[in-house]
Amino acid sequence: MINTFIAFDENDDDFGEYFFESHNDIISDFQKNKLINYVSICGLNCTEKGIIDILNSINENPFVFIAISHGNEDEFCSHEVYISATNANQFRNSFIYSTSCSTGKNLAKILIDNGSLAFIGYNNEIFVPLDYSKLFYTCENYGIKSFFNNDETIETSYNKLIEHYTAQIDILLSGSMEDLIIASTLLDNRDKLTFLGNGSLTRKFFN
Amino acid sequence: MNLNLWELLLKLNYLLISYKMSAPIKIVVIHDGLIPKVDPLLVELQEKFGLNEVIHYENSNDGLEYVLGNLNQKMIVILDMNFSKGELSGLQVFENIRDKTALVYIILITADEVIKIKNEDLIFLINHDAFALESVTADYSKIISLVENASHKLDARVDAVLEDWITKQSDEKRAKPYLKTREGKTYTLENILESIRQQTEIGKQMERNILKLSVDLLSRQKTKLDD
């Protein structure tokens, strides 16, 4: 079984509902996949201590960590910081898949330097047009779903994530002026994607 | 040609054409040295841009009031530098317009030699995108040509197209939260409109995104052709 943790901050004032729906989008896919043993970490438990307690049970085995919350260049945040340089060593042997803003800028390298195997995330602030929430979180989640559903490398999943963004952009181009603006926002988010670490690993490595 | 690229080009073309046709450009002349209605400059402008599209104000305060009250209208302002005492100077009018929007092109005209304009005033004009500075002469063709040039540029500006699209949305839609950053900042279309006019970050970001989209499609098309 692939040990997988999904941290999501459903209590956030601005994005709680978005994070909740994004989490549901992922687990509805995971529930169909017998290879995955997932644990959802809700907002109240997204604390540094909460994360340490949960990850201690892993005993250095490879795992996947998905973050659906706010973030910045140096930290993942819920009502408090829950991943930063301080506890980066807890993520040894992990593949981190982030939908948070900017965590790909500094923190991703710190995590890799501390033993994380791979990181997919965004290296800058990302935007969400409110009437198009579903489109945006399904794009954000596409790469991790593809990784778990196929015998493919992390690098392939990353490339497929970019291709999925592009395909959605192309669909929007046949719509209205507003769709064009949404397509340009989606493209901006796509171009903030970043990947670090070992791209050759597949889900078998984590199983 | 790739269908998506073709569609995008058609759409951008359509948007630019509909933007051009959506409302004609008003030419606002704020100048106290022109003879109302019959001055050759006004007559030439009316011939080029239409009788109802050229508006002349002799009083700079009135001219400024019109411009600020009609920011949803595409405008080019021809602004004299010097006005009578008690009225705002051309520079003050320029400054007041720039406080509200960067999307109105302003052509300044002066009876003085440029060398007589204060250094700091010239720096201010250049740093705040004065479209042109021209001396008043009997030959108005230079000014007409500048207005035509400004009119062409105004029709081709992505930020002006975005502004036009936002101004066509209902008041309700404009006041509703529209875009959020994952860092928690929320923007209504009204905020975005203001930002486009003030050339602040979110407005510039949206403009960049549209341009990036066009470049992305063109480069993808090029890759396909190279293959």
Last residue of a domain, one of B111, B139, B155: B155
State pLDDT tens for residues A98-113.
999 999 999 999 999 9
Q: Coil, helix or strand for A26?
A: helix
State pLDDT tens for residues B192-217.
999 999 889 999 999 999 999 988 88
Do B84 and B164 share a domain, yes or no? no
Do B42 and B117 share a domain, yes or no? yes
Range of the domain at B68: 22-155
Per-residue pLDDT tens, chain B, 227 aa: give them.
444 566 666 666 656 555 555 568 999 999 998 888 899 999 999 999 999 999 999 999 999 999 999 998 889 999 999 888 889 999 999 999 999 999 999 999 988 777 888 889 999 999 998 999 988 776 788 999 999 999 988 877 888 888 888 988 999 999 999 999 877 789 999 999 999 998 899 999 999 999 999 888 888 775 565 65
Tokens standing for A186? Answer: 């989606």
Within a domain: B136: yes
How many residues in chain B?
A: 227
Pairwise CB contact (< 8 Å): B186 & A15: no
Do B111 and B141 share a domain, yes or no? yes
Last residue of a domain, one of B155, B176, B204: B155
Q: Coil, helix or strand for A59?
A: coil
CA distance A104 to A161: 16
> What kind of architecture, by CATH, is found in domain A2-206?
3-Layer(aba) Sandwich (3.40)
Last residue of a domain, one of B122, B140, B155: B155
CA distance B69 to A180: 30
Cβ atoms A173, B11 nearer than 8 A: yes
State pLDDT tens for residues B95-109.
999 999 999 999 999
Mutate to test the interface with A, among B15, B174, B181, B182 (most CBs of A within 10 A): B182
> In sequence order, what are the residues at sequence separation of 6 or more whose Cβ sits closer than 8 angstroms to the Cβ of residue B9?
none
A129 in contact with chain B, both atoms CB, cutoff 8 A: yes
Q: Which of A70, A72, A183 sits opposite B213 (nearest CB)?
A: A183
* C-alpha distance across the termini of chain A, in Å: 5
Do B86 and B181 share a domain, yes or no? no
Within a domain: B64: yes
Pairwise CB contact (< 8 Å): B8 & A173: yes
Within a domain: B15: no
Residue of B nearest to A12 (CA): B184
Residue A27 backbone class (left: φ over 0; alpha: ψ -120 to 50; beta: rest) = alpha
- pTM as predicted: 0.83
Pairwise CB contact (< 8 Å): A177 & B15: yes
- Taking Cα atoms as reference points, which of B153, B151, B166, B156 lies closest to residue B196? B166
Mutate to test the interface with B, among A17, A180, A186 (most CBs of B within 10 A): A180
Within a domain: B121: yes
Do B165 and B193 share a domain, yes or no? yes
Do B216 and B186 share a domain, yes or no? yes
Q: Taken in order A120, A126, A129, A130, is the CA torsion positive or negative?
A: positive
Do B99 and B145 share a domain, yes or no? yes
Cβ atoms B182, A100 nearer than 8 A: yes
| Chain B positions with Cβ closer than 8 Å to A | 4, 7-8, 11, 15, 162, 165, 177-184, 186, 205-206, 208-210, 212-213, 216-217, 220
Domain residues of chain A, as ranges? 2-206
Residue of A nearest to B18 (CA): A177
- Taking Cα atoms as reference points, which of A148, A146, A132 lies closest to residue A182? A132
Within a domain: B166: yes
- Report CA-CA distances (Å) from B71 to A45, A172, B77: 50, 30, 12
Within a domain: B7: no
CA distance A154 to A195: 9
Within a domain: B13: no
Domain count, chain B: 2
Pairwise CB contact (< 8 Å): A187 & B216: yes
Q: Which of B11, B184, B208 sits opposite A14 (nearest CB)?
A: B184
- Taking Cα atoms as reference points, which of B14, B54, B20 lies closest to residue B157? B20
The whole-number pLDDT of residue B225 equals: 58
